Every structure is written in structure tokens, then in C-alpha cells.
Structure 1
């Protein structure tokens, strides 16, 4: 919610309006910054605005507060006699520390200390410039009151009136203030004037007052009594639901499996069910058992995404990103190792970085018993380079995350993954997730397409060559060149099915069935393959993005995803970049132009479209099944055709089983296959 979505009055008056519920909380929960100047401040206000503080803190909100302290006649005389104001201020605040210490477990004091410790609250003290204020016989105090809320768009709401930053100022006393919104042209100049006024006061540029940074000695004492986390319950015990996180039943079950299995577990949880937070929740529960948490991710795109989630659970801990825009990560990591991990630390890196000689040669110095690991998209651990990591680095606490950890055509790599996690796992499928309401239900539409005669001839020829080469390879295990050629030929044959020209003939019909407001992912096999369909979208006057591996992942990709979420362009063409972990919950439609026979890949692609978002109740999946134009009189061609269709049919049945219209979709497909002389029950 932005500030422009909040309804404002021109003026608020105690008695006529509830200043906290009608103004303060809606503004704070919609803002990213809150600047406040008031002659009197009391931390007791935090207990009254905690509903607004939760979203403000979660978004990384920051406050700046300018307040004052009351000067007695004796204080004024002392300062005028030559005693430095800064020194007086520090000594004055230190005399107040005992009261803070006695109330350190109170909700308001504890949270004041936490906000200061985490850099979420910066306080400055303003005092009258007694060198300019002559003849004052009474007390001196800064008495002005202004507040500025600013949201993520840069819009701000300014209020100016009589209320201090305290419970009394916001409700107990008779107060009033006026409101100026920056987007309201009638009062925008007043809003800007008050904003500049605050900045001048903050920088100490206001004539007649001196502004001082919060005394370091007092700040350090407050940090010493600060709790580890922000409290959301007004009690003397730390809130269990850190930052408002409430575990889903499946996340709680994952945690219990992790604890029951002695801190080692493979979370086989469907895309969109919250396995990232389930892993962090588990590591938070055992946070006293580790000093270093290493999080491995498959791509640079996911570094920042993981950091945002990490900060929800570990807002005070040091987080190091290895890669991306951080060019000094190696020296920073080396400093940590040499200092023997001086504080609890979370390192987020790609699999490539983690399995590098530099990283592994330094990780070996970490005490295994105080070392924890989260492996995101854990199927990546089966590659040869990461298997070396598994051989050498074995933290005491280990969690693997993957909807489908089995590797396609790689039984050895798959078994190594299961061995690393000691064959201990927790499973929560897409069917479970849809039933429990974590993912939306979906409809599944299957379009049969035929290979051209030329494509089928190439497929048959390659199949014959592959059969001969397999025979040679099996009889002579030393011929590595033959094995490499075999892999190349298998890839060429698969490409024929993935990129058949007939798919482009049916593509416009599918596009025409998609509603204008829907956001659609289109999965292709390569940039060249996607360009063919991009041309069709051009012809249909559809706006689109092409999202592929060579796109700058730091600058271009995030902006592209954000524009797609906002609906600036409704079609996103992708290769493999969106298979792992990138969140696009607003997407509700997918077209699988290049369907993968890999269980993991098509499960991940389906999950991209089933994530819940506001107003989204259903997903729509469009798929192709490729039918060869075989000669029914040739038994060898018939058998080869059955092999082609069988692989595709197996994937389609898996997808249809969980769809709303799955039974109808399969029945229609079976009827079509029967017309082609193919018995679906024999596939």
C-alpha cells in the first residue's frame, strides 16, 4: 500500500479523530521513511503503534528523530559560563541510563534499543543556541512539532501541529495538526517547505538552535541492553513469531523433520510452498548451534532474493553476498575466516563460487560442529564440480531444497545427493500444496502437433545412427570420442521434437485464447527458437520481453521482471533462466513450447504459474504433444513413434493428474491418439 492509497483529512483533532488509528498507523505501515521533530519524545508510543511498526520494519523502514531535553536555569547558567553543550548533553543522558536499564525488558524500551542498534532509528538532539538566546531566565527547550512520512514511490505526507511524539501527544492530550500531501498541488509547496525545514534542523543549519548527534557513549550503553530481535508482543519475553512470521503447517512439519533427523534433511517441497522460509525457520530455531551459515544458490539472480528472506529471520547478523555487484567478496570472506567468524554470519553464494578452490580451501578451517548449510535447488549438487564440494565440505547442519532432487539421466549424481543428506527427507507435493491452498488450482490444455515429413525423416535417420553408435560404444568402452558424438546426436534428435515448425502454426490460436489482463510465460528451447515466436507476437501486436541467460542479471533482469509484474508488457519469453527460484507470482499463464521430459524442469515451470498473488485464483497451462507422421505399415517406425509419444504422454499425464480439467484433457487426448492408430493404453 502506498501513501496515495490512504485517505487523509486536512486536519486532525483529538476527540473528533483517533490520531493513531486513523492517521499514524496507516501512514507508518505504508512508508519506508519516517522523519519526526518534536520537543518531547517517549518510547511508550511504540506499544500503541505496533500494528503499523510490523510492516514498516519488514520493509526495512528507517526513522530519523529530532528531539530535545529540558534545560533548567542551573543548566543554562552552567553552559553560559563556558561548559560545552555537547559534554553537558552526554553527561545528562548518561544519568538517565539507570532508568533505561531497569526497564530494559519493557516492550517500548527494548524496541527503542533494538531500533538504535540496527540503524533503524537515528536520533539527534537539538538545544537552544544559548550564545544567541540572551536574557532567558527560565528553561530552554525546542518546542516545534513536524512529521514526514515517505513511501517507496517518494511521495510524502507532512503533518504540522501541536502533538509531541508520545502516547499523550497522539491521544491523551488535546492536540491538533494539519496535513499536507506532496501530490496535492494545492498544498505541495507547504509540504516541501516543511520537509526542507526538517532537513535544515537535522543538519544544524537552523538559526538559534544547535543540533547534536546522539552521544556515542549513551548509544553504546543502549545497544548493550538491546534484545536480539524486535518484539511484537507487549510482554517481558521475546516474541516467538520473529518479524510477524507465522509458520505454515507444512513449514512446521519440515522443521520437525529436520530436528527429528538430527539437523540433516532434504526438503522436497513443491514450488511456492515456502521451502526457502522453511529452511531459514529451521536454521533460526537452532541458531545457537552455528556460527556460519552457507547458502548455495544456482544463479546470481537469486543472491538478492535470498538476502531479503535472510534479513527477515536474521536482521542483525552479518550477510555476505559472494558474486553479483560485490567485487570485494573474496577479501571480505578471507577477513571472516582469519578472524575466526567473530559474529554469526550468513554467506550467500552460487554453486560455482562455493565449489571453487578459493572457497573450499578456506571453508575447511570452519569448525564442522559450528557450521550450517542450506543448498537451494539441491539437484545442482549432483554436478561433477559440486560433488567435489560434497566430498570435502560436510557441515554439521544441512538442509537441501528441491521440489524434485532427482537428476535427469544421472542416477549416480542423484544418489550422491541423497547420500549427502543421509537419505533423510521431508516431502510436500504440488497436489498437497493445491489441496492446502498454498498454490492456485489450474487448467491444462493440450495441443497435438505433427512433425513434418522432413523432420520425421531426420528423426528416424538420427535414431538409426544412435543405435549403431550405442552398439559400438558398448563394445569399446575406451572410445571417448564415440561417447561424445553419441551425446551430441541425442541432443540433435531431441531438438527436432522441441523446435518442430508445426508448433508455430498453432501458437496464434493459443495467444488469442488468453485474456488481455493475463501475464504469460512462454518457454522455448533457445534464443533462436524464441525469436520465431517473438516475430509472431510482433505480428499480433503483443508487447513482450525476452529473458535469456546472456541478459545482464544484475541490471536488466530485475527491471524486466518488475515491468512484467506491473503489466507493462504481458508476455515473457524465457529459456532456462526461470526454471530455478525466480519469483513471479503474478504470472497466471504458461505456454510450454519446448516441453522438457525432465521431471524436475517441468515441475518447476508449472510451479512458476501456480504461486498465489492478489486476485489470482487459477492458473492456465498450455502444452504440446508431438505426433510423428509414421508409416503404419513399417513396424520399426511404429515402434519408434510409440517411444516418442510415450515420453511425452508420461509428462502430460503427470501434469493432467493435478489439473481441474485433467480427466477431460486426457480423455480428449486419448480419443485423438486412437484416430491416429495409437492405443494410449499401450504407451
Structure 2
């Protein structure tokens, strides 16, 4: 066993090679000691180099790890304020970040970790600085002859860092003349850190952490004979993660060739298999109509793999609405052994344009070696001249996968969807475009037939989604708000037209008026008081989502009357700020906003804090509608009224993803009526007609949400009462008439 027999480079760069295959596995196979000090450590790292680690453990190897704890904003503030002893806060934070495994591979991974600690073959210490955080990345690998390799760089000890990030590692060998001094300095630095003699750091031991890992995860004797064809599981809550999320890519197979992960082949659901099979039968063109949270992304990637297996030369473009969804897709793409080009303006791959050019060129001149490439990009970047120019140069078959595909029916998108893509896949829970028959027809004409239709009711029945209780909260407009609502409605009537299909449509100015009118409903003043009462019982609870409208709230001096000045509302308080104040200032809850103003890094921190219950509530605007995956949400308060089925169906879907311990979800929907329903009973038919359009819109959402709720009876009684008072039949709800703009 000697490290000297291994060819070792002086530098490794993750995306220009495979550091697991070329560095970690061969060195650990010959080693007896592995020392590592890093900012973050995840148990997923052990899975990455499991081949080398198994040999290392057979050699009697031991691991010493120094890491820093993940502390929430509340932890740090409590330490500053002296609410609790610092060590208690840190210890609680460490234990809080331990989760239960959800599948067999996660059990094996954590069982190995627990056994290593129980047998004193792995020890963990925590590093703290007086200010800031410990962020060094230093490692020492040593063999039985005393030869050692010291390395440092940008990479943390996690699967994401090893296999997906752009990281660099500098290496120094103790037996090489020009490197041994650097190697010795780094070895001595680690020993000082481990022994607590580095004056800049404080090194702490937490026996409770190690005891808790053993208690939770030690199941059987350690299994050190892992198969080299190690299969990666989805990155969920079964990881011991001290701060960094993970992404998956197997280092043990040829890279960038689409492959079905074993865990997906083993656990694929019938409806997912049906979707892929039908898509292949239809010439690799079609639509996956699947409820939010039922695995559209993984099913789509399974389809990409099937298409490549049939064609062997393929250029794939995966197009999504937003930048944060690109990153979310990438986390799944790499599980299918694909190394994607991540293409958008602020991509972490700053050279993505060069990568795309090279991929197109290589596929043309080196087809046997570079038969496949995949681009994950945003709608905006996909439509750019640069990407469209590159598409013209592609000689291979092209596959287009469009997520949230209802967006592709819009005019700007339709213009660039031509015959270049001979293979096409649309993914959406709501493929039909609200109020746009022409755009909907285009989507079906371009993408083809629906290969699978897996709706919400069936998904809940088959336990793929969580059942829910629905609580409609009735509020009414103030007299001033209703007066302005009626004024805008009358003006809208002057800007309507009848389309060729016979539908009533608004011209461009009429659409602006409609937006103004919808903002009155979304920002209705009475919603805030109703929200205060509803949230009160939840002020000590977690996993709460509040949907706000992109609107302002006007506080009338006399809410029962007076004129509503829409222009004045533009200088009112934004609803999201008002709600955040109620939660944070009045209720004393830990809350964070999730809007377009937060960058991707901030959103990741918010999401992680929310999952770990360090954050009680997220207050969001529209950007959370499409694709964002926060399955731990248990309770949603929907203040933002919408008449678009696509939007409110997606908002409901955000809450219904499964999560351990989540037996059912709760949805509080703030339903806005023109006037107090008791007062309406005494109005004339003409007076009732002035608010009937608003009532019809709200009833459509009420009926949709109530239909499959656990407590549907209560809601159905309310719906029946509203329909009777306003004299609205079921047929009226389904008819869109010219009079609706006036009513």
C-alpha cells in the first residue's frame, strides 16, 4: 500500500475531469488515514468515493473531520443576545440538521457513517472563529509508509461540490522535492487545528452529536463491500448535511450519456412508464399532463433517456420559465448521468456560450465520441439570437423539452418553435391556456397528443400527493373599493370585442383596466384583518406559506364609504410588506419573503431554513407559482385572488407535495365578494348584477378547490348559499358572455 505508485496531478478541476475517479478513489484505496477540515460536510461525500472508501476501511483506515455548524439567523442572534449558552445553541443546531432516511441507500449510507463513529474510526470536531465562519478546505491522505498527500482548494466535502460545482484542488506530495515543504506545512496546519492549538480557531467536541448519529442511524454491522456500480438515490432528507445541498452524478460510468438511474427504474410508477411508452410510440412527440408534484421532471428525463437510446445522436434543449427552475432541473438532470450546459445570463457556468458552441461543433465532427449534449435554459435565453443561431448549426436530431409548457403558447414563443425539433415534449399540469384558444390549439398542434393525463384527484387517491382541507375565508370589498370596481367594469365594456370563435375578448387598453380591477380585489383592505384572525392559532407553528398579490393595500380613513382612488393606491403599502409586518412584528414569527427580488443563493438559504423549521413562514408573490419545490409546506394562506385556473391550480399544488409527518395540508383561501352576503339578500336583481362578475370568478375557484377537499361538505354548503343569493346557476359559471364585463 503506497501512494507513490499512483499517478497524481498537481491540480484537479472538477468539470475538466473526474476528481472522484482520478484522485479520491485511487488514493483512499492505498491509505490508512484521511484528515479533512472543511466549511461544510455532507454524508453524500462518503457515497461519492465509496469504492475507495471501502478499501480504505479494509486497510484499517481512520477519518478525522473538522467542519463548521450551520447556524440559522435566529441561532446567531440568540448567541449575540445571550439568550442561551453558545454551546447549547450550536449543539441544538447540529442535532436539528439530522434527518431520517427515506430509502434503502440512504439507510446504508448513514448506517456506515454511524458505524464508523461507533467504532472510533471516524471522529468529528467543530471549528468556530471569533468572527465570520471557518471556511478552509484542507485535506491529508496518508499511507502506512508515512507518505502523504496534502491538498486544498475551493471544494467542500459534499457530493454537489465534487460532482457538479466548478471547483479546483491543488495537490502536494510529501516525497516530491519541490512539494514536500508545502505538504508539510499543510499537514502541520491540520494537526494544529485538530489539537486546538490554532489561536484563530476554537475547536469543540460534541459527544451528544455523535451519540445522536449512532442512535438514529446505526442499524446493522458496517457493510464495507459496496458494489462498484454504486447507485445514487435522490437527494432528500436522509442526508446528514451540515450546510450544503447535494446533486447527483455517478462517477463510475461514462459521463454525459443519458442513463436511467437504478433507483428510478426500480421505483418508476405505472403512470410514468405509461407516459414514456406512449411518447415513444407517438414518434417522441407529445404532452405529459401531470398534476404538480407527481414527478413530471423525472418522467421527462426518463423520456430523454429513452429517446437517446433509440437515436444514439441527440441534441436536447430543456427550457423552463425562470432561472431558479434551471438550477432545480439541473439537480435532477445530473442524476441521469448527464452533464448539462447551464445557459442563462447569470449562470454559474460563465463560459456556457463557449460550451454550447463546442458541443455543437464536436457533435458534428466527432459524433462517435460526442453523440449527446444537453442544454438547460430559460425561456428568455432560449429565444435569444445566440441560442437560435447555434440551433441552426446542429446536424443531429433535436429534442425540445418545455417545462410549464402553457407558456409556449404565447406569441413570442410560438414564433421560434419550428420544425428544427423533430422530437418534442411538453410538460404541464395546466396545458390549456386560460382565455387563449388560439394559443392552446397551437400547443396541441406542435407537441402532439397527451401521452398521459394524471390528475390531482387520482394522485391523492394513490398517495402520490397529500390530501388537504380547504377553508374559504369570505371577505367583502369596502364601499370605496366596490365603487371603483364598478367604474372600471363599465369602462372595460367599451373595450371588448368578439373573437372569430365567438368568445368575448378585451383589447389592449381593456386588459390594462382588467389588471387595475383585479388589483383592487387582490389588495382588498379587509383581507388583512381576516388574515390576522386566521394566522393567530398558527403563530407557534411552522411550514406556513402566504401568497400575496403584486398589489398595494389602501387604508381608508372610513372603510365603510368614501371614494376609492386607484392612483392613490400606488403609494399605499405593498400587501407583501403589510403581511410580513403582521407575521414578524405583531405575531413575533420568523418569516422571510420569497419574491423576484431575492437571488438564487438567497432562495436556497430561505428554502433550507424553511425545511429545517428554522423559519416559520414564507411570504411569496407569483414567482413561487411555477416549479418551485418546497414539499414541507403544510399550511397555505392564499390572499392573492386570481381568475386564471393555471395559477390557482399551481398554487394549490405547491402545498400538496408529500413530506414525512404531513398527513394532510391546509389551504385558507381569501374569497372576495362585492358586499356582505347577508346584505345582498335584500338587494334588487339590478343591484346584485353589479357584482355578479366578481362572484362568478370567485365561485369557479371555490368549486375547484372544494371538489376533492377532505372537508368538502362545508365548502359546498357555502357555494350553494352564494349561488342562491346571487342567482347564479352552474351553467352561468361555464358561460363567458359580453354581459359579464358589465355585471
For 1:266, the equivalent position in structure 2 comes to: 287
The offset of 1:561, in angstroms, is 2.0
- Tell me, in whole angstroms, the C-alpha distance in 1 between the residues paired with 2:455 and 2:142: 54
3-state SS of paired residue (2:416)? helix
Counterpart contact for 2:699–2:719, Cα < 8 Å: no
Return the alpha-carbon distance in structure 1 between the equivalents of residues 376 and 727 of structure 2. Answer: 51
The reply on whether 1:302 has 2:325 as its aligned counterpart is: yes
Structure 2 Cα separation of the partners of residues 419 and 286 of structure 1: 21
Any idea what the Cα deviations from partners look like across 1:20-59, whole Å, max 9, x if unmatched? xxxxxxxxxxxxxxxxxxx2xxxxxxxxxxxxxxxxxxxx
Change in Cα spacing, 1:263 to 1:308, as seen in structure 2 (3 Å) is same
Counterpart of 2:543 in structure 1 is: 519
Q: Distance in 2 between matches of 1:151 and 1:253?
A: 45
The change in CA–CA distance for 1:502 and 1:256 in structure 2 (over 3 A counts) is same
Bigger drift between 525-534 and 292-301 goes to: 525-534
CA RMSD of aligned residues (A): 4.2
Per-residue CA shift, 1:244-279, capped at 9, x if unaligned? 223122211111111121211110101110010001
Number of positions where the alignment pairs a residue of Structure 1 with one of Structure 2: 522
Over 3 Å counting, the alpha-carbon distance change for 1:251 and 1:677 in structure 2 is closer
Matches within 5 A, 1:445-460: 445-460=471-486
CA contact (8 A) 1:277 1:309 kept: yes
- Among 631, 655, 659, the residue aligned to 2:709: 659
Equivalent in the alignment of 1:361: 389
TM-score, length basis structure 2: 0.63
Report the equivalent of 1:322: 344
Offset of residue 167 of structure 1: 9.3
- Give the Cα–Cα distance (whole angstroms) in 2 for the partners of residues 149 and 618 of structure 1: 43
Deviations 1:107-150 (CA, angstroms, capped at 9, x unpaired): xxxxxxxxx984423348999xxxxxxxxxxxxxx996224689
**Counterpart for residue 573 of structure 1:** 619
How many angstroms does 1:386 deviate by?
0.8
Q: Which residue of 2 aligns with 1:12?
A: none
Distance 1:662 1:571 in 2: 26
Matched with 2:517 is 493
The unaligned stretches of length 5 or more in structure 2 are: 10-15, 47-52, 62-117, 128-135, 151-171, 181-226, 233-252, 500-504, 552-573, 734-743
> What are the within-5 Å matches in structure 2 for residues 159-174 of structure 1?
165=55
State the match for 1:284 in structure 2: 305
In 1, Cα distance between equivalents of 2:360 and 2:178: 44
Determine which structure has more spread, i.e. the larger CA radius of gyration: 1
User: 1:396 aligns to what?
Assistant: 422
Distance 1:517 1:146 in 2: 45
Matched residues in 1 for 2:176 and 2:362: separation?
Answer: 48
TM-score, normalised relative to structure 1: 0.68
Matches within 5 A, 1:575-594: 575-594=621-640
Once residues 654 and 544 of structure 2 are traced to their aligned partners in structure 1, the CA distance between those partners, rounded to angstroms, is 11
CA 466–231 in structure 1, closer or farther in 2 if over 3 Å, else same: closer
CA displacement 1:263-317 (0-9 Å, x = unmatched): 11110101110010001011112223142110001001111211111111124x4
Of 527, 531, 534, the match for 1:507: 531
Asked if 1:181 corresponds to 2:123, the answer is: yes
Name the structure 2 match of 1:27.
none
The one of 190, 202, 212 equivalent to 2:149 is 202
2:652: which partner in 1? 606
**CA deviation after TM superposition for structure 1 residue 509, in Å:** 1.3
d(CA) in 1 for partners of 2:54 and 2:471? Answer: 62
User: Deviations for 1:425-474, whole angstroms, at most 9, x for unmatched residues?
Assistant: 32101111111111111110011111111111111111112223337x99
Distance change in 2, residues 1:347/1:126 (3 Å): closer
- Matches of 1:178 and 1:542, distance apart in 2: 42
Cα pair distance change 1:508/1:120, threshold 3 Å: same
Task: Spell out the pairing of 1:6-21 with structure 2 (5 A cutoff).
Answer: none
In the TM superposition, residue 663 of structure 1 has moved relative to its aligned partner by 2.0
Q: Secondary structure at the match of 1:122?
A: helix
Cα 1:164/1:490, change in 2 over 3 Å: closer
CA 1:312–1:462 in 2, change beyond 3 Å: closer, same or farther? same
Alpha-carbon distance change, 260 to 148 in structure 1, aligned in 2, over 3 angstroms: farther
Q: Whole-Å Cα distance in 2 between the matches of residues 657 and 273 of structure 1?
A: 19
Structure 1 residues 331 and 205, CA gap change in structure 2 (3 angstroms)? closer
Give the direction of change, closer, same or farther, for the CA distance of 1:150–1:196 in structure 2 (3 Å limit).
closer
Pair 560,231 (structure 1): closer, same or farther in 2 beyond 3 Å:
closer
Report deviation, 1:393.
4.9
Report the CA distance shift for 1:149/1:397 in structure 2 as closer, same or farther (over 3 A): farther
How far has the Cα of 1:230 moved from its partner?
A: 5.8
Find the partner of 2:591 among 515, 534, 544: 544
SS in 1 for 2:717: helix
Matched-pair contact (CA < 8 Å) for 1:126–1:209 = no
CA distance in 2, matches of 1:248, 1:148: 42
Contact 1:266 1:421 in 2 (8 A): yes
1:416 is aligned, of 439, 442, 451, to: 442
Mapped partners of 2:31, 2:541: distance in 1? 50
Residue 260 of structure 2 is aligned to residue 373 of structure 1: no
Alpha-carbon spacing, 1:164–1:678, altered in 2? closer, same or farther (3 Å):
closer
Report the Cα offset of residue 423 of structure 1.
Answer: 3.3
| Aligned-partner SS, 1:363 | helix
Change (3 A) 1:295 1:548: same
Q: Deviations over 1:556-590 (max 9, x none)?
A: 22222222222222111111111111110111111
Where does residue 61 of structure 1 map in the other structure? none
Deviations, residues 178-203 of structure 1 (Å, cap 9, x unaligned): 43512389xxxxxx9x9656498114
Residue aligning to 1:22 = none
The one of 19, 22, 40 equivalent to 1:122 is 22
- CA–CA separation in structure 2 for the residues paired with 1:583 and 1:351: 19
> Offset of 1:604 from its aligned partner?
0.8
Counterpart position of 1:251? 272
1:526–1:575 contact (8 Å) kept in structure 2? yes
Distance 2:24 2:670 in 1: 64
Moved more, 203-212 or 399-408: 203-212
- From the superposition, tell whether residues 307 and 150 of structure 1 become closer, same or farther in structure 2 (CA, over 3 Å): farther
Answer yes or no: is the 8 Å Cα contact 2:326–2:376 preserved in 1. Answer: yes
Provide closer, same or farther for how the CA distance between residues 182 and 673 of structure 1 changes in structure 2, counting only shifts above 3 A. Answer: same
For residues 260 and 26 of structure 2, the distance between their equivalents in structure 1, rounded to whole angstroms, comes to: 37
Q: 1:389 Cα deviation (Å)?
A: 1.4
> Which residue is 2:696 aligned to?
646
Structure 1 residues 231 and 496: alpha-carbon distance in aligned structure 2, compared to 1, 3 A threshold: closer
Mark the CA change 1:298 to 1:637 in structure 2 (over 3 Å): closer, same or farther. same
Would you say the 8 A contact 2:275–2:299 is kept in 1?
yes
Runs of 5+ consecutive residues of structure 1 not aligned to the other structure = 1-38, 40-65, 70-84, 91-115, 128-141, 186-191, 213-226, 475-479
Say yes or no: does 1:384 pair with 2:439: no
CA contact (8 A) 1:564 1:571 kept: yes
Q: Which residue of 596, 604, 616 corresponds with 1:558?
A: 604
Aligned to 1:429: 455
Higher alpha-carbon deviation: 435-444 or 407-416: 407-416
Structure 2 CA distance for partners of 1:509 and 1:461, relative to 1, 3 Å: same
Is contact 2:401-2:425 (8 Å) kept? yes
Q: Do the aligned partners of 2:401 and 2:424 also contact (CA within 8 Å) in 1?
A: yes
